[in-house]
Chain A
Amino acid sequence: MQIDFDVVKHVAVERTSSPRYNSKIAGSCVLSRLKLGFAATGERVPTEPFPSAPFFKQSPNLKFRFDCFGWHVLRLVAKFDEWKMNRKRLFQLIIVLNLCAAAWIVFLRSVSPLARQPEASDVSAVHTLGKLELPARPVIEIFDKDSPKQVEIAKLRTLAFDLAENALRNLPNNPEAICLLGKLHLRSGNADAARRLWDYVLQMEPNFAEANIDYGHYELNLGNFDEAAEHFRKAIEKDSSRIDAYLPLAESQSSQRNYEAAAKNFETYLVQNPRAAETWCKLGWAYQQLSKPSEAIVSYSKAVVIEPASSTAVQGLVTAYRALGDSVSAKQYADIAAELAKASPRVVEGRDQFDPDLDKAREVFDFASRSTTGVLVQANATSIAIAQLEKAKALLPKSDSIRTLLIDLYIAQQAVENAITLLNEQCEQSPGDANAWLRLGVQCIKFRRLDTAEAALRKVIELEPKNAEAYALLAQVQLPAGRNPQGAIQSARIAVQLLPTGSNHFILGTALYHTGDLAGSKQEILKAVELEPRNAEFRAALEQL
């Protein structure tokens, strides 16, 4: 009886699709509002310097298309002399060149709103918009060139704009890309540019909610609560799934003293985000203003359960109990608030090492890179996303966010070698990051680099001695012939002890089978089937035994 125990392959695939693994990928590369689509088939990065015409004609990258076209024209000209031209060839060439010229004009006119002129005959929404010029970037100066932090801030800001503008060039009229560029301009203080971009989006895609949300935040920060509320309301009308619009809408309404509506919208937001302690406090405040202290107490109490040290919530309870006439409880919570205040002394040591501006610049850059990657991947332009990120990585080689995004894209593109290189780099830079080692282990298994995988997994176990996943993977690495089957049994047993899942029992059963313990193997696989009776692979293995 022979059983196909290609466990390495099986578990590698299984691990990459396990909920924990996926959540880590998702957590590291997807902002909920960006809808990253890793299932989409992306383009390959061209390996030739200038690929054939059909390729470059399909490429949405303007600069790349131009480079390719120019190269082909030059090649034609070079061939001109070689041909010892006869009349027939000459006319062929002229026709080709004329076609090229016509194609070039059509091509330039079609690529972007940046270069388009409106025509009277154009009837589509886009055509009536006129020309959208990229707003001028803010001046990004380095005031102290000897300061590495300032240099990095300038690089990050420049790169964020590069990413957003390149995404827009590659995906003309993509509303998300335009909104992102608007956000960057607003963040740089250029509200006019931001407004122009959002207006463009609202004209082009009247049902695109993001522009209204952006506009709403803009008005909210200016204290224009009526206008802000109107934008958030419109966003929700356009896309009722945009729960993120309910919170600022409620805040705007609260500032307009429309506490009834505010409370309702805070509640809507909290249905989807029940752990948002700050929002519970805001709901409590709204109830307080509605002279509903009992409801306020419930809201503040929920916030306290989530964040026991929330001075906002405790202070809210003081006010609410006072409004209820319960001075004993009010005093009790006032004492707690005073204790909380004392318990959070000001820490000044190390402030000179802390640079909030650099942190903010990194955050903005992260947001820009994630957003543009999301937009490009969604538009099946993964290769462009990769090329952009690779360029950014060359400029900011130590950026965690770029590396993480690249790893995810490489994995999605099955470029395992590249992913492993970056994972190695990540592990070197963050040797205490067990997740990085685990990912390295998984990718090495995929690539059959079992020694490297084993070393990575042992590192995970060293960092997290109770990581069942690492033991299960280690067992599979040890299992193949000529490695360490006894070690595999030991590792698998620990995995089962730590996490007795069907999968781990199956691995242990497999390891036992390889060492000739058929009875033990059958027992473990039986447990696996009991735990996951619908797993066809477990059942097949059991039948074969």
Chain B
Amino acid sequence: MFLQKCVTCLLIRVPVALVFVLFILMLGGCKPEKGKVPIANPNQPTNGKEPSSSITLVDVTEQSQISFVHSYDGHNQRYIVEEIGSGIGTLDFDSDGLMDVYFLNGASIPVESGPKTSNALYRNLGSMTFVEATLASHTEDVLFSMGVAVADYDSDGFSDIFVTNFGPNCFLRNNGDGTFEDVSLSAGVGGGDQLGAGACFLDADRDGHVDLFVGNYVQSPVEKNIKRTTEGFPSYPGPLDFMTDPDFLYHNNGDGSFSDHSAVSGISEHSSTSMGCIAVDFDDDGDTDIFVANDVDRNFLFENDGTGKFVEVGIQRGVAFSGDGKRNGNMGIDCADFNGDGALDFFTTTFSNELPVLYKNDGLGNFSDVTIEFGAGVNLLPHANWGTAFIDVENDGDQDLVIANGHTDPNVSSWAYTTAWKVANTMLLNGGDGHFKDISKTCGSGFAPIENSRGVATEDFDMDGDVDIIILNALARPTVIRNDSHPMHHWLQLDLKGKLSSRDGTGARVTVEVAGKKIVKEVHSGRGYQSSFGQRLHFGLGDAKSASKLNIRWPSGESQVLVDVAGDQILTVVQP
């Protein structure tokens, strides 16, 4: 009886138990995996691999002894100011022949709410090593700095530094003894309480004194900050959330002071979200015009009538939009003759989901978007790009491109699969016919670091005849890249000294004829992404040991011709 009861009990309970055991097992099998699958960096470089091309760009950040760390702190308020800084300036501040570097820094918002940070000046010791000289040179600027322009505004032979800030701008006059003096107030270029952006010097009215263009971004970025989210994650407001601020044009009075010519010059008739800017004679008519890259808006091209008055012709000239008519989130801007036709072309960097734009000049000052045709960064569609510079990386006489990348939102990887906050930078090699090839993964360790980059500056820092690169990284140390390419090509560098024209040659246009080719360059004092570099013009001569002809057109109108100029030298040319 007992046995029967047990059997009965088992017969009942076993299937029921079996059912529930199976059920639990099945539930376990259905359980979704925990955690998010990490997304591989879409632009993962080949770290540690030997470069396969003849271009060798080496990361020498450690040995450069540059300890500057870009920083800012918005105390989790996510101000738009935080996203967009900062640029780099280069100058030979101590006249030792070596190009020094001025790094712009962020700050706490408000400035008093955190530890004091400042911009940093690094003296070049040669061989790609630097030593900080900020305190000794009195180049501290503790505000949140955005853009920089370098020029010899008082024609005393020494390069001065203008810095745009969130808050009053800062103008540092070089005393010629290795120290600087803040002349913002006496020069009258301190501005008000704007959020400055790119700046550039130009001799707008060709009176021999460099004037100053200052781009401004948006109004009241802190007072009118809007808290935004993206896919539920805290993010930043965009430029469309704020009123724009008109740009300034300061006229150099020649006595150390400037007058506000924003209205009389026609500049303040237009207002947008200025980012990078460059002064260039795009229509080759002898006066200097201004290109302003605007964020989520049409670009401005201010055409100079020769007297310092400007008309905005961006739409008419074809540079306002990308070829498909989009108002891009334009960031940086540089110019060069990328296809060797003698006309200066433009390249703008843009925000993610937009291609950067290569605007080809038809020789008459009209432009068309040829980005895809020439492969100028077509693989950069997913990424936000900032600093940019045309450089001849292997001295073969054509213009290659450096592009700094990184998104504005540190949370971007939480909601986007296409990009990341930190993205490796890009090196595009010009094939000689204007077509570009991305060599970032094969050109050495210089383009391996994955950072959130902004300003780019290029110079021959180690004076070995090729152009090196320094890239400012947000919330990190900069990346210092030494050019170790040894393609056995020749080169020529020019330091221009104006007399009737501005002392540092700003705006001078140089055409170098070499082996039947013409290479055209201008001296810019402010370019790229809110940066300033390359006043010492660098020409790759390829296999030629000399340039057959040098034609210098000074901003004051005179032309100067030199013939059979030997290569592999830094030549100082003084205006007759």
Contacts and interface: CB of A to CB of B under 8 A. Distances in A.
Contacts of B229: 143, 149-150, 153, 355, 357
B316 A114 contact: no
A108 B26 contact: yes
Contact of A136 (B36, B243, B315): B36
Nearest to B226: A352
A157 B233 CA distance: 12
Nearest to B377: A223
A312 B244 contact: no
Nearest to B218: A348
B397 to A, nearest CB: 26
A257 B232 contact: no
A137 interface: yes
A135 B200 CA distance: 52
B232 A341 contact: no
A139 B413 CA distance: 13
B234 interface: yes
B324 A190 contact: no
A394 interface: no
A322 B364 CA distance: 12
Interface stretch (B53-61, B165-173, B378-386, B546-554): B378-386
A315 B379 CA distance: 25
Contacts of A101: 15-16, 18-19
A90 B316 CA distance: 94
B44 to A, nearest CB: 13
B423 to A, nearest CB: 13
Contacts of A329: none
Interface-centre pick from A154, A188, A313, A331 (highest chain B CB count, 10 A): A188
Contacts of B11: 94
A322 B360 CA distance: 14
A157 B232 contact: yes
B232 A255 contact: no
Interface in A328-349: 331, 334-335, 337-338, 341, 346, 348
B476 interface: no
Interface string A93-106: 11001101100110
Interface in B415-429: 415-418
Contacts of A194: 417
B30 interface: yes
A436 interface: no
A14 B563 CA distance: 92
A193 B417 CA distance: 11
B316 A334 contact: yes
Interface string B332-359: 0000000000000000000001000000
Contact of A255 (B226, B318, B378): B378
Interface stretch (A232-240, A281-289, A413-421, A522-530): A281-289
Given A115-B29, A257-B372, A312 B232 contact: no
A104 B23 contact: yes
Nearest to B375: A257
Contacts of A139: 36
A257 B374 CA distance: 10
A181 to B, nearest CB: 12
A203 B345 CA distance: 49
Q: In the complex, which range does the number of interface residues on chain A fall in?
A: 35 or more
B318 A223 contact: no
B232 A114 contact: no
Interface string A132-167: 011111111111100101100110010000000000
Interface in A97-129: 97-98, 100-101, 104-105, 108, 112, 114-115, 117
A104 to B, nearest CB: 5
A157 B321 contact: no
A177 B201 CA distance: 59
Contacts of B32: 133-137
Interface in B376-415: 378-382, 413-415
Given A97-B12, A139-B36, A361-B232, A115 B318 contact: no
A282 B518 CA distance: 36
A171 to B, nearest CB: 16
A221 B244 contact: no
B192 interface: no
B230 interface: yes
Contacts of A282: 324
B368 interface: yes
A108 B27 CA distance: 10
Contact of A98 (B15, B42, B232, B315): B15
A221 B382 contact: yes
A194 B321 CA distance: 34
A316 interface: yes
Interface residues of B, number: 63
Contacts of A73: 16
Nearest to A139: B36
A189 interface: yes
Contacts of A318: 315-316, 318
B19 A104 contact: yes
Given A222-B382, A348-B241, A153 B298 contact: no
Contacts of A136: 32-37
Given A139-B36, A312-B324, A189 B415 contact: yes
Given A313-B325, A348-B242, A357-B228, A223 B378 contact: yes
Contacts of A361: 231-232
A361 B228 CA distance: 13
Given A315-B325, A334-B315, A341-B315, A114 B417 contact: no
Contacts of B29: 114-115, 117, 131
B574 interface: no
B320 interface: yes
A351 interface: yes
B36 A221 contact: no
Interface in B321-335: 321, 323-326
Contacts of A355: 228-229
A259 to B, nearest CB: 10
Contact of B39 (A189, A311, A356): A189
A334 B230 CA distance: 37
Contact of A190 (B26, B297, B417): B417
Given A97-B16, A341-B298, A190 B37 contact: yes
Contacts of A312: 321, 324-326
Contacts of A352: 224, 226, 241
A503 interface: no
A518 B478 CA distance: 95
B573 interface: no
Contacts of A94: 8, 11-12, 15
Contacts of A117: 29
B263 interface: no
A467 to B, nearest CB: 38
Contacts of B228: 355-357
B366 A188 contact: no
A326 interface: no
B185 interface: no
B325 A140 contact: no
A7 interface: no
Contact of B325 (A134, A138, A147, A311): A311
Q: Which 8 A-B pairs have the closest CB atoms?
A: A312-B325, A223-B381, A191-B417, A101-B15, A334-B316, A192-B37, A189-B415, A357-B229
Interface of B: 8, 11-12, 15-16, 18-19, 22-23, 26, 29-30, 32-37, 39, 42, 224, 226-235, 240-244, 297-298, 315-316, 318, 320-321, 323-326, 353, 366, 368, 372-373, 378-382, 413-418
19 contacts: A97-B16, A112-B30, A133-B30, A138-B414, A143-B232, A143-B233, A153-B231, A186-B417, A189-B39, A222-B42, A223-B378, A285-B323, A285-B324, A312-B325, A312-B326, A318-B316, A346-B244, A357-B228, A357-B235
